[in-house]
């Protein structure tokens, strides 16, 4: 079993990585989702569907995006997993109710 390096969301955003997923997974890259640092958005590669983080400022907005994407015929479970995973890493902890 491979061990992954855990990096905080703050470090992910503040460091200059060409691909944010490589920063978190070190030697494993997401296949379906990338973070576009320039536009501050999450991009679904298959369709170039782009979700700006400015549209994910509340837990309700995040859940709305998850619901909207789950309704897309082209969205696979693997894509959804990657989207949710990177979304959780990019959104501040204080947004989520614990």
CA gap 23, 74 in Å, rounded: 27
Q: What is the pLDDT of residue 58?
A: 86
pLDDT band at 93, cuts 50/70/90? confident
Across 22-33, average pLDDT: 65
Q: What is the pLDDT of residue 91?
A: 83
44 has pLDDT over 90 = yes
Please state the pTM of the whole predicted model: 0.68
Q: Where are the beta strands (DSSP E) in the chain?
A: 33-36, 41-44, 49-52
pLDDT band at 75, cuts 50/70/90? very high
């Amino acid at each position: 079993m491979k061990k992954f390096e855990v990096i905080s969301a703050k470090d992910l955003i503040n460091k200059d990585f060409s691909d944010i997923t490589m920063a978190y997974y070190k030697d494993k890259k997401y296949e379906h989702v990338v973070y576009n640092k320039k536009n501050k958005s999450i991009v679904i590669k298959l369709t170039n569907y782009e979700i700006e983080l400015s549209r994910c400022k509340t837990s309700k907005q995040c859940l709305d995006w998850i619901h909207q994407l789950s309704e897309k015929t082209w969205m696979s479970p693997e894509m959804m997993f990657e989207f949710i995973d990177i979304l959780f890493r990019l959104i501040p902890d204080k947004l989520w109710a614990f």
